[in-house]
Chains A and B, each alone.
Chain A
Amino acid sequence: MIRLFMCLCLAVAVLASPLRAQEGPLRIEITEGVIEPLPYAVPSFVPGNAAASELSANIARVIASDLNGTGLFRQIPDAAHISRITSFASPVQFSDWKAINAQALIVGAVDVDATGRVTVRFRLFDVFAGQELGQGLQLVGTTDGWRRIAHKVADQVYSRLTGESGYFDSRVVFVSETGPKGSRQKRLAIMDYDGANVTYLTDADALVLAPRFSPLGNKVLYTSYETGEPRIYELEVGSARRRPLESQAGTMSFAPRFAPDGRSLVYSLSQSGNTDLFRMDLGTGRSDRLTSAPSIETAPSFSPDGGQIVFESDRSGTPQIYVMPAAGGEARRISFGQGRYGTPVWSPRGDLIAFTKQSKGRFHIGVMRTDGSEERLLTASFLDEGPTWAPNGRVIMFTRETQGEQGSSNLYSVDITGRNLRQVATSTGASDPAWSPLQE
């Protein structure tokens, strides 16, 4: 009897289980998707008057260039558009944009008044949801600064679609290189992140190296050989005025970098054949030693919170990456792969460290966690070096030098996924890039 009852219970449980699984809504789990650029449309902005007609097309073009350059978005050409945006206020015919698979739509208008004041309005739509993403935004500037306005619109679009802050309204300071490889002239230059609006900060009289932006982007630290020995300088971007920061006789200073608060810097100082890290208070000019080792310590970089410093040292016999407290102290090695590691840079997000790696005769740009785990190499070439982070921590720019007497240096950018490797357009050869924070 008991066995019969147990068998009955078992049969009921077996038969009822699939029925019970179907109770309520149908549930499925998606764990695999696709990674492809998101198609979007950005028709020419609607000009409010004749003076704005050319500007409206240019602004739309720069926005598209910014978004396309990320590799995350794909512009649907204007020729494929079904609807025409003739009025900024008119409702959007979503069905027309769905038909061409535009998942995002950017609609804008441009007005230019008699004083040269430019007003740009835009809206971003999620086409398939049939609703606006965020609220419409209006930006005001001058006709000379129309590119910045376009970059800011692109930043907003990027931020609303990806959830990350943009990096288009930013600048890059770098070393412009001209002339043959044996007698190359190097000057500090600054440009928009996309290579536009290049401005030279120094002349070609002295060799310059490794410029670094201040946290506000208004100052630049760099190394110059104008005295015959490498020395660090601070330069104001607006006025191009500069001053030496370290001038001890018989020393060499190089590889400076600002602290996140902008009130101090860390750099390498070479004395009596030994190179260590020092920290200088910019207000007092006083320097404090951070390391004291017979090895070479260089290329320091602060963590975003200013609490730690990552640097390069050959204390283990080969150049490796170490992390230590910002006030100095015991350093721990975080790179343990095969090869030589150098020029570590802490991500603005604080989650990754970018570096240069030399292994098996090739150079790589890579990233790793701050504890050294999950190392990933993003590039490989004859010579890749000097990574710098975009303000949002999503993109890395670096120097790539080609082989041979006719080889040249150029700037490249790559997504931290390793995708979307592309050269940055510069009018001359370029090296040692440093990305600025987003402009205010």
Chain B
Amino acid sequence: MWAMLDTGQKVSAVGHVGFLAVAIFGGTFNADPLPFQVTEVTAISAEEYAALFEAEPSPEAVANVDTPEPPEAGQAPDLSATVDTDVAQAIPEQSAQSEPDATPEVVQPAPVEAEVSDEAPVLQPPSEDVAVLVPEIADEARPEDAPRVAPETIAQPEPDVLIDDVDQAATTEDDTAEQVEEAQEETAREAASERIVTEADDAAPARSLRPQARPTRPSEPAEAEETQTADSDNDAVEDAIAAALGGTDETSQAAPSGPPLTSGEKDALRVAVQQCWNVGSLSTDALNTTVIVAVSMLEDGRPNTGSIRMLSASGGSGAAASQAFEAARRAIIRCGANGFPLPVEKYGQWRDIEITFNPENMRIR
């Protein structure tokens, strides 16, 4: 059949077959390009770079530093001369000795004297020279431009006006509606801008932010504060003495402190106890008894053996409850002899533990 075709038909057939092959299998060989990240870099000239910093003087601490003069082009070491030297390394000449950075003056506060006065200290307002490490807050917070486009430009809402989904008419004193409606706060339409502000539009700052000069320390702390500090120190000493004498802080005892134990930490405690909970010698009645045992823990993870007590028992007789409690107590004491694996920083969470010993899974089946 192929022989019956003339040259033009053969060329046409080969061409069609090739086109179809490329159309069908061409996508197979075109692998997706590997993902890559493009970072746009803007090249600026040295003049532009210098212009960025001309408007703002450098901090004082930086101004005190003598910058070394750049070496002249003729002072550059002759690299060709050093090729033949075996080991000698070209030691560049030190330029002019640069002065050390200006060490900021550190004003040592006067030592606090533990003077205790009977009069209550009076706090004086800090002087205006005292630096306050709080962020500067503008008089009026300016809401940010909303990154959305509205069909019409909406005026910026007044500060402290809530944005609601539904527009509410502003209530006025002239409203004389007969129906008494529930008073609602005035709300404004959600702010919108005329165009979408992208990150590229406001990413380039007008100038680089420079660190501000370190604020000078207050020369003399207020004496009133010292008096108060001394007084509070005195209270702390009294508290320490009280604690040493056995007194405890009620607030610290009442609520557990520190983050709660994770499930993994609880599981570790559970496993540690259960590997010593031997029910092999318990009666069948005791194996039907669930006991809840309370124990107070020492900070090193060991149980206070004298604090182990049965809170409740269910499912068996009194004798069975006693047997079940003794087995539970043995488990706590035995496996807690070297301390349970509990995080000491969470001691407040496991100072007191209630353990339910439920032998349901250990019964004879």
Contact = CB atoms under 8 A, between A and B. Distances in A.
- Which of A22, A130, A163 has most B Cβ within 10 Å? A163
Given A28-B355, A130-B305, A163 B285 contact: yes
Given A25-B294, A34-B279, A161-B281, A126 B331 contact: no
Contacts of B352: 24-26
A103 B362 CA distance: 21
Contact of A26 (B323, B354, B358): B354
Contacts of B329: 128-129
A21 B349 CA distance: 11
Given A128-B333, A129-B333, A163 B286 contact: yes
B261 interface: yes
A31 B358 contact: yes
Interface stretch (B36-44, B80-88, B107-115, B265-273): B265-273
A162 B360 contact: no
A285 to B, nearest CB: 40
A126 B326 contact: yes
Nearest to B185: A1
A376 B365 CA distance: 8
B305 A32 contact: no
A36 interface: yes
B283 to A, nearest CB: 4
B332 to A, nearest CB: 9
Contact of A163 (B274, B277, B294, B319): B319
Given A18-B260, A128-B334, A163-B323, A28 B280 contact: no
Contacts of B157: none
Interface string A11-25: 000000011011111
B281 A34 contact: no
Contacts of A374: 365
A35 B260 contact: no
B349 A163 contact: no
Interface string B6-44: 000000000000000000000000000000000000000
B330 interface: yes
Nearest to A40: B281
Given A30-B357, A31-B360, A128-B333, A162 B283 contact: yes
A24 B253 CA distance: 10
B110 to A, nearest CB: 44
A29 interface: yes
A87 to B, nearest CB: 26
A162 B274 contact: no
Contacts of A28: 266, 269-270, 273, 353-356
Contacts of B341: none
B66 interface: no
B282 interface: yes
Interface-centre pick from A18, A98, A101, A162 (highest chain B CB count, 10 A)? A162
A3 to B, nearest CB: 8
Contacts of B277: 30, 33-34
A38 interface: yes
B318 to A, nearest CB: 10
Contacts of B362: 32-33, 35
Given A162-B282, A162-B323, A30 B256 contact: no
Q: Which of A34, A72, A374 is packed against the most chain B CB atoms within 10 Å? A: A34
Nearest to B168: A1
Contacts of A38: 278, 280-281
4 cross-chain pairs, A with B, having the tightest CB-CB distances, nearest first:
A33-B277, A163-B323, A25-B352, A163-B283
29 contacts: A1-B162, A1-B185, A22-B256, A22-B260, A22-B261, A22-B349, A24-B352, A25-B294, A26-B352, A27-B353, A28-B354, A29-B355, A29-B358, A30-B331, A30-B355, A30-B358, A31-B274, A32-B274, A32-B361, A33-B277, A34-B276, A34-B279, A101-B334, A103-B330, A126-B330, A129-B305, A129-B333, A163-B323, A417-B364
Interface of A: 1, 18-19, 21-38, 72-73, 98, 101, 103, 126, 128-130, 133, 161-164, 374, 376, 394, 416-417
Given A36-B280, A38-B280, A126-B326, 8 more contacts: A1-B164, A1-B185, A24-B256, A26-B349, A26-B353, A38-B281, A103-B330, A161-B323
